[in-house]
């Protein structure tokens, strides 16, 4: 398939599936509940992280995360404390409460020091392109103390991962990338 044929195919699929009724049975429908940029970034990232398994299960888990965050992802992350970890009860396949606590703490640190996920992806890339920006994001995210087991939920292009879920996040949030080639 040539690049033009692939583009035509993907454009066709975008038109086919980019309909409001499709969102009712798609995890992206959860993201569409929000209008604030930071809320969209946060919930988009968390949904992309748990996006494996069947769609119904992903949507159920995504809605559970939104509920845990009191339907205000950005406010929740900004005010998240270590004490709240004791109250977390969450499981989606191998992603559990311990992982969710780490992700909340890492997001808290990022929003406190960087202002947004977009800033982490777009400021001071050490390696250009999508791959480099994902590596940069992953390295920044992992600066927060965590158990090694939680790292498996964050793709690592340096080890050959295509980082499909993080690429999905970039698409959800429409983060502008100067050189989107991996």
Please check whether residue 84 lies inside any domain of the structure. yes
Quick one: CA torsion of 178, 106, 26, 1, rounded to 10 degrees? Answer: 30
State residue 87 phi and psi, 5-degree precision: -90, -10
Please check whether residue 137 lies inside any domain of the structure. yes
The full DSSP string for 67-127 is: HHTTT-HHHHHHT--GGGGGG---EETTEEHHHHHHHHHHHHHHHHHTSSHHHHHHSS-SS
Structural domain boundaries, residue 89: 3-173
The full DSSP string for 14-64 is: HHHH-SHHHHTTSTHHHHTT--SHHHHHHHHHHHHHT--S-HHHHHHHHHH
**pLDDT value at position 74?**
97
The stretch 162-173 carries a mean pLDDT of 72
Domains held by the chain: number: 1
The stretch 92-101 carries a mean pLDDT of 90
Tell me how far apart the alpha carbons of residues 166 and 38 are, in angstroms, rounded to a whole number.
Answer: 16
**pLDDT value at position 80?**
96
Tell me how far apart the alpha carbons of residues 66 and 60 are, in angstroms, rounded to a whole number.
Answer: 10
Angle 171-173-174 from CA coordinates, rounded to 5°:
60
Q: Summarize pLDDT for 6-65 with one digit per residue, the tens.
A: 788 888 877 776 666 666 667 777 887 899 999 999 999 999 899 888 889 998 999 999
**pLDDT value at position 143?**
93
Please check whether residue 182 lies inside any domain of the structure. no
Please check whether residue 42 lies inside any domain of the structure. yes
**pLDDT value at position 76?**
97
Please check whether residue 113 lies inside any domain of the structure. yes
Greater model confidence, 125 or 56: 56
Please check whether residue 180 lies inside any domain of the structure. no
Please check whether residue 179 lies inside any domain of the structure. no
Please check whether residue 178 lies inside any domain of the structure. no
The stretch 148-176 carries a mean pLDDT of 74
């Amino acid at each position: 398939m040539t690049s033009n044929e692939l583009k035509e195919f993907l454009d066709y699929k975008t038109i086919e599936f980019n309909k409001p009724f499709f969102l009712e049975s798609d995890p992206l429908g959860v993201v569409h509940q929000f209008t604030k940029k930071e809320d969209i970034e946060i919930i988009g990232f968390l949904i992309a992280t748990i996006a494996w398994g069947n769609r119904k299960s992903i949507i159920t888990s995504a809605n559970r995360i939104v509920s845990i965050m009191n339907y205000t992802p950005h406010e929740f992350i900004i005010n998240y404390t270590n004490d709240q970890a004791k109250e977390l009860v969450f499981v989606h396949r191998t992603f559990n409460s311990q992982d969710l606590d780490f992700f909340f703490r890492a997001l808290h640190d990022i929003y406190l020091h960087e202002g947004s996920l977009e800033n982490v992806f777009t400021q001071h890339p050490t390696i250009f392109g999508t791959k480099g920006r994902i590596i940069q994001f992953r390295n920044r995210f992992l600066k927060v103390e965590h158990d090694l087991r939680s790292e498996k939920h964050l793709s690592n292009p340096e080890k050959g991962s295509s980082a499909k879920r993080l690429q999905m996040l970039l698409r959800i949030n429409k983060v502008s990338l100067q050189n989107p080639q991996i």
